[in-house]
Structure 1
Amino acid sequence: MEITMLARLNNDHKHIAILLNILKVKYSRLEVGEAVNYNLIRDIVEYMQSYAEHSHHPLEDIIDSYYMAKYSPEARDEKLAKEHQKLTEFSASLMANLNLILSDVVVSREQLIIDLKSYVAEQEEHMVYENSTIFPLWSKMTDEEDWKNIQQECSLKLIDDPLFNDDDNVLFEELREYINSDDTD
């Protein structure tokens, strides 16, 4: 059970890294004055909002709360939950700007570049923190009963990844096609 939950979270991180790399390409192109597909950028942020913020991060919060309560109550720390909240605010702000752009409202290219760079940097720093500090702590929980309890608590937040799965879901179809192609726009 533990292996499954942590493997899922690690797999999510790999998928998120793919999307962050696409955003890096997009803001690099913006920096040199090239055109980019703003719909694709919005789809990435929308994916982060719909999946990472509503399933991935809540799962992490549940596991962290369980771990802290049972194994480290004296060191109770809300850092992870605070980072998740900060990332939610970042993506909401970025999404608002992208929606303005897609509605033909003028938004400073320079500001969008700064926002995209900050967003990517925050997401990457957050994943490094989780991969190097948080996940190794959780992997020390070896009691199968703990993981069954966590699984039960997580069941309400567990959703299938709407982008990186094998079903015929049309949500994020353009983004899925982009990832699977050699398209450079």
Structure 2
Amino acid sequence: MMLSKIHKDHVNMSKLLKLLKEKIQLLEQDQQIDYRLVKVIITYLKNYSDKYHHPLEDMIYDYYLKYRVVPDTVANRLSQEHQLIKEATIELDELLEMILLDAVVPKEQCIDRLKHFVNLQSAHMNYEEKEILPQIEASLSKDDWRKLKEQWQDDGHSDPLFGEKISEQYKELANRIKQNS
């Protein structure tokens, strides 16, 4: 159940990265984009990933490393990538805030930050989906998953964009995602 939640999150995040790629292409073609929508995407990714997605992955991965794998230099890659993504998200969020406040920001700088963010997120999710999650799934027992479920402090949150009830701040984005599907 926990891995299926992570897989589902990755599918949903991929939809958002697809929208960002479309915005990058428009910028590269000297077309206008809706920076507010881009900001909403980044806000969602920042809030949801930091509060729910990455903590769940980190808990499972830490358990896996502690009980199933001999730690080595590769062992910390996932948490290091989560930190890099967090930093890239904050930088992009601040840049978008400046743009929305009518600061003059070179278009190339915006394109570069967006590309960096999308590439970092995509590579990270691919690494998790192809390398880490299959290893974890193959090595953890039902008892391990029971222990992890007991350890996970799920506060009953609902995904504000992809959950049953869409938050007001994400309704426009949810409509755009439906149009793109």
Q: 1:127 aligns with which of 125, 128, 149?
A: 125
**1:101 is aligned to 2:73:** no
Change (3 A) 1:142 1:132: same
Please tell me whether the aligned partners of residues 40 and 175 of structure 1 are also in contact (alpha carbons under 8 angstroms).
Answer: yes
Distance of 1:104 and 1:136 partners within structure 2: 45
Q: CA deviation at 1:159?
A: 3.3
CA deviation string 1:8-52 (max 9, x = no partner): 101110000000000000011011111100010001100110101
Q: CA deviation at 1:72?
A: 1.0
For 2:59, give the aligned amino acid: I
| 1:61-100 aligned within 5 A | 61-75=58-72, 77-100=75-98
Q: 1:16 aligns with which of 13, 18, 26?
A: 13
Q: CA deviation at 1:157?
A: 6.9
Q: CA deviation at 1:123?
A: 0.4
1:39 counterpart residue number: 36
Structure 1: 5+ residue runs without aligned partners? none
SS in 2 for 1:140: helix
Please tell me whether the aligned partners of residues 13 and 127 of structure 1 are also in contact (alpha carbons under 8 angstroms).
Answer: yes
Structure 2: 5+ residue runs without aligned partners? none
Tell which deviates more after alignment, 77-86 or 148-157: 148-157
For 1:166, give the aligned amino acid: E
After TM superposition, the score normalised by the length of structure 2 is 0.93
Q: CA deviation at 1:112?
A: 0.2
Q: CA deviation at 1:138?
A: 1.0
User: What percentage of aligned pairs have identical amino acids?
Assistant: 33
Q: CA deviation at 1:166?
A: 1.8
Count of residue pairs brought into register by the alignment: 179
For 1:162, give the aligned amino acid: P
Distance of 2:43 and 2:124 partners within structure 1: 18
Change (3 A) 1:174 1:130: same
Distance of 2:11 and 2:154 partners within structure 1: 23
Distance of 1:157 and 1:94 partners within structure 2: 29
Runs (4+) of structure 1 exceeding 4 A deviation are: none
Q: 2:4 aligns with which of 3, 7, 15?
A: 7
2:46 counterpart residue number: 49
CA RMSD of aligned residues (A): 1.6
Tell which deviates more after alignment, 91-100 or 67-76: 67-76
CA deviation string 1:61-101 (max 9, x = no partner): 00000011011134471110000000000000000000000
Please tell me whether the aligned partners of residues 36 and 100 of structure 2 are also in contact (alpha carbons under 8 angstroms).
Answer: yes
